[in-house]
């Protein structure tokens, strides 16, 4: 049985709204919230040998930073509201990774905030929300 909601958190105001929105829904059905932060990363990028040697260290730092500065405050916020919370930091392609996490955590839904970027910016850089909607295995709620 699906018993979690996955919330995409990136520290933006939109993601905060998504977390609050999801928290209300979660409380209603006693669903557990999974707060996920995806650090954009590709296994096919190129690096110097120096960077490779330090990669493990950097990764730990990145995860630590994401956890303490982004996830922890949001987690506290929703815990205070009375939700059961789990947090996860993962490297990867944002939309694809969120879809995989939803799968792995047996989530019933994904909540994600919208940045409201201009059309040109979306055209140039693509949008996480757009591609998540296209690829997600579960329903996606986009919080404006």
Partner 1 sequence: MIRLIASTLFLVLASATAHAAGGIDETINTATAPIAKFIGQIVFFKIPVGDAELPLVVLWLVIGAVFFTFYMGFINIRGFKHAIQLVRGDYANPNDAGEVSHFQALATAVSGTVGIGNIGGVAVAVTVGGPGATFWLIMAGFLGMSTKFVECTLGVKYRNENPDGSVSGGPMYYLDKGFAERGMKGFGKFVGMFYAIGIFIGALGIGNMFQSNQAFVQFVNVTGGEAGSWFADKGWLFGTVMALIVGSVIIGGIKSIARVTEKVVPFMAIFYCVFALIVIFMNFDAIPQAIANIFTGAMTGEGVVGGAIGALIIGFQRAVFSNEAGIGSASIAHSAVRTNEPVTEGVVSLLEPFIDTIIICTITALVIGTAQVSEPGFALVGVQGIAMTSAAFEREISWFPIPLAFAAMLFAFSTMISWSYYGLKGWTYLFGEGLMMDRLYKLIFCIFVALGCMVKLGPILDISDALVFLICVPNILGLYFLAPIVKKEMDSYFARIKSGEIKKYTHA
Q: Which residues of this chain interact with partner 1, rule CB under 8 A?
A: 39, 41, 43-57, 59-60, 62-63, 90-92, 96-97, 99-100, 103, 137
Q: How far is Cα 59 from Cα 99, in angstroms, rounded to an integer?
A: 21
- Least separation in angstroms between CB 52 and partner 1: 4
The CA-atom distances, in angstroms, between 121 and each of 25, 38, 117, 131 are 31, 20, 6, 15
Closest distance to partner 1 from the beta carbon of 74 (Å):
21
Q: Residue 24 CB, nearest distance to partner 1 (Å)? A: 28
| Closer to partner 1 by Cβ: residue 11 or 92 | 92
CB of 37 to partner 1, least distance (A): 12
Contact 62, 38 (CB under 8 A): no
Question: With respect to partner 1, which residue has the nearer C-beta, 72 or 103?
Answer: 103
Of residues 19 and 109, the one with the C-beta less far from partner 1: 109
Q: How far apart are CA 78 and CA 27, in angstroms?
A: 10
Q: What are phi and psi of 91, to 5 degrees?
A: -90, 145
């Amino acid at each position: 049985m699906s018993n979690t909601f996955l919330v995409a958190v990136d520290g933006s105001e939109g993601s905060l709204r998504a977390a609050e929105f999801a928290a209300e829904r979660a409380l209603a059905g006693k669903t557990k919230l999974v707060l996920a932060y995806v650090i954009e990363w590709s296994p096919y990028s190129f690096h110097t040998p120096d960077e490779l040697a330090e990669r493990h260290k950097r990764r730990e730092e990145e995860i630590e930073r994401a956890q303490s500065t982004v996830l922890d405050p949001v987690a506290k916020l929703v815990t205070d509201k009375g939700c059961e919370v789990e947090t996860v930091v993962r490297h990867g392609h944002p939309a694809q990774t969120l879809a995989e996490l939803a799968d792995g955590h047996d989530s019933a839904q994904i909540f994600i905030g919208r940045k409201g970027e201009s059309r040109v910016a979306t055209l140039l850089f693509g949008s996480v929300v757009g591609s998540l909607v296209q690829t997600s295995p579960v329903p996606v709620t986009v919080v404006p």
